[in-house]
Structure 1
């Protein structure tokens, strides 16, 4: 019997000749690393670079959260001033996503993305050197401009490099970059902040940016973008053309609901566990870690499902799962029930995000693809920042868990809206 080497295994995984659940990220990446097949090296490099880029997004968000108390102590910040730091970071991400998405369609994916990473690196370093609150506001906003571009351009690059059959799995791998960034920032905070303080966290944030920029410089420009040509002066108009406006409207609803659900629930979940359900702090941390573990499992399962069953049914199933999770959470009484509700929430809360990279890329032409992905995703991100405020305002009247339960109506709407557009699984990019 012939002994298969790693290239044979990866090739079988990515071509579909082995069982679908064996076409794992490992098998796919082994194949992509092979230089014996045309284009596979590019696939691998593009996907890894996209993962590293989106990892910066997760790190930047989490580092601010982890250092906020220390920043408040250093600069004597009020709670409102602390909240404004989070707002300007999100605002910068939205601005960066919109502007760099258009630039990537106009001037190319790789060059534009490299500049966005350098912006992140420079202003992260300047944050570490901050001597005043206005300095913090400016550097956090401009750092957000850099990280805001990572998702849309990275997903566009992956979509144009990855084969149609497993594009959903590629989207999943890139989506996991954000979670990796969050975990990395948390781990670094435990080892660095007690010894070196909050400034060290922002200095370390430069390292992955340099690494990602190095990877980007080693990747040729997207062949699809080179073949199809650069965008017109204002590619955003393509999103609202007669051909694409139905997709854009449906995707905006889906992205807004997904982002509001994630940020609203995940920010208030610890408070709900501690105050409403009287879960001890140590057990709350255990619940949250278990929830994070289920997030990773759910992302992989739904990413694979999107390639096997289709984008629409996967997104719809994820939102319907969230309906079940938040309603069960609202009705939970015992610690055991709360734990089950936390696991369900974790499994479904990021499930549809894994599909978005492929879903938002496939209907649009090359000259407007990066614009579309960035515009849709970052519009959702902007609305997501409002969700924690809504829960905070309504919680005194309905309780945190009660307001979270109300989100089930939004999830139902999104589960239905996705069926108003045609299926795009396996689509060849235009």
Structure 2
């Protein structure tokens, strides 16, 4: 297997394991709440603390990967979220669950951007979009894997056993470390300007060094936040919305989830092709406006067929864009700060966008599904407006020049 394919396999597997780790909490939540006799809000805080860990881990490990190498730090992040996951199974109170999920979040937050940087530095520019989409689909594989493991383990062995499975990624980290060489582009950058480059690598202030770079960073952070806010708002609340508005059964909700996930996967693979062929601005412009329209119109869907097909269409556009963020963010930053930028920007989106379900829940409680979907549609319109400020890569020579 050549180096390019190895980076894809490693990054896909890393994101699959990360997605699996995150979803374990969702499947085990009811058992955890019951065992520790906590209320729903206290249980929901587990996810928020994990997101905070992701943001901190994303910044920290992004900087370290830019300074000391992609593969080495990539393996450390996998080991860390594996340890955090396994320790969760040993927790004796909710405070320990919070601590161990924070540790897992640190590792998971660092893994995403480093994997994306590895892929971006291994593949030519005209193929980075589709390769980024292959990696991004890994998160959906993780959801499926978590669902299968939960179905087999939870009824028989309980929630603790599920988290003990989370130690297995340590084996994967060992395999990666043994078989994957360091990024040639990163190695070349070290040799080219060894002392100066090492000092400059991974500096967070490089993301705001000039007004143009700062605007690019803020724009990408807003887009990432909308991406996560839209996904979480849709996936967490839509099944219950549909149960109320359409009289959908629990089994019908599961069918909806599968339909929407299939739409998401197809959308991600399609978006990867589009971004390579038509460029980032045009591709994101089309998908953002289509997402706003699809989400708004979906609030008027009727009948089981309309709900299922509409869910697949919403998933296609709204989550299809997820596939492009690795390629998009990587394209704006040079090798010296690429992992730092990707991890910081996307995990900021995770931390802030992860709060969206709270607002959606409030809207549903006070108003109705149409207002909630209008809010989500407005988010995609906001992302479209700020996206217009992005300059194509050929216009950003100053960014590369000022960042090295």
Per the normalisation by structure 2, the TM-score is 0.92
Q: Structure 1's 190 and 231: CA in aligned 2 closer, same or farther, altered over 3 A?
A: farther
Q: Structure 1's 225 and 234: CA in aligned 2 closer, same or farther, altered over 3 A?
A: closer
Out of 228, 252, 265, the residue aligned to residue 234 of structure 2 is 265
Out of 225, 229, 232, the residue aligned to residue 200 of structure 2 is 232
Shift of 1:192: 1.3
Shift of 1:68: 0.6
Out of 376, 387, 395, the residue aligned to residue 407 of structure 1 is 376
**Counterpart Cα distance in 2 of 1:231 and 1:152:** 20
Out of 73, 83, 90, the residue aligned to residue 129 of structure 1 is 90
The answer to which of 411-420 and 153-162 deviates more is: 411-420
- Which structure has the highest helix share of the two? 2
Out of 242, 248, 262, the residue aligned to residue 279 of structure 1 is 248
2:267 equivalent to 1:298: yes
Out of 275, 289, 293, the residue aligned to residue 324 of structure 1 is 293
Out of 214, 231, 235, the residue aligned to residue 175 of structure 2 is 214
What SS is found at the alignment partner of 1:183?
helix
Aligned position for 1:387: 356
**Counterpart Cα distance in 2 of 1:363 and 1:301:** 22
Shift of 1:280: 1.9
Shift of 1:418: 1.9
Aligned position for 1:3: none
**Counterpart Cα distance in 2 of 1:257 and 1:388:** 12
What SS is found at the alignment partner of 1:380?
helix
**Counterpart Cα distance in 2 of 1:97 and 1:197:** 31
For the 8 Å contact 1:52–1:208, the answer to whether it is kept is: no
For residues 291-327 of structure 1, the C-alpha deviation after alignment (integer angstroms, 9 at most, x for no partner) is: 1111111111111111111111111111111112111
**Counterpart Cα distance in 1 of 2:228 and 2:181:** 32
Out of 309, 318, 333, the residue aligned to residue 349 of structure 1 is 318
Aligned position for 1:14: none
For the 8 Å contact 1:125–1:203, the answer to whether it is kept is: yes
When the two chains are superposed, the root-mean-square deviation of aligned CA atoms in Å is 2.0
Shift of 1:339: 2.6
For the 8 Å contact 1:319–1:411, the answer to whether it is kept is: yes
For residues 140-169 of structure 1, the C-alpha deviation after alignment (integer angstroms, 9 at most, x for no partner) is: 111111111111111011101112221111
Shift of 1:331: 2.1
Shift of 1:359: 0.5
For the 8 Å contact 2:66–2:338, the answer to whether it is kept is: yes
What SS is found at the alignment partner of 2:200?
coil
Aligned position for 1:23: none
Shift of 1:245: 2.0
For the 8 Å contact 2:79–2:169, the answer to whether it is kept is: no
| Number of equivalences | 391
Per the normalisation by structure 1, the TM-score is 0.87
Shift of 1:233: 6.5
Q: Structure 1's 234 and 113: CA in aligned 2 closer, same or farther, altered over 3 A?
A: closer
Aligned position for 2:62: 101
2:329 equivalent to 1:360: yes
Out of 20, 23, 30, the residue aligned to residue 62 of structure 1 is 23
Shift of 1:400: 3.1
**Counterpart Cα distance in 2 of 1:53 and 1:399:** 39
For residues 163-213 of structure 1, the C-alpha deviation after alignment (integer angstroms, 9 at most, x for no partner) is: 222111110011011111111000111111111111121111222342144
**Counterpart Cα distance in 2 of 1:402 and 1:341:** 18
Shift of 1:388: 0.2
Alignment of 1:19-34 (within 5 A): 33=1
Out of 186, 194, 209, the residue aligned to residue 241 of structure 1 is 209
2:180 equivalent to 1:180: no
**Counterpart Cα distance in 2 of 1:300 and 1:83:** 32
For residues 31-81 of structure 1, the C-alpha deviation after alignment (integer angstroms, 9 at most, x for no partner) is: xx3xxxxxxx11111111111111122112110000011111222222122
Aligned position for 2:116: 155
Aligned position for 1:10: none
Aligned position for 2:160: 199
- Structure 1 runs of 4+ with >6 Å offset: 427-430
Q: Structure 1's 59 and 209: CA in aligned 2 closer, same or farther, altered over 3 A?
A: farther
Q: Structure 1's 133 and 413: CA in aligned 2 closer, same or farther, altered over 3 A?
A: closer
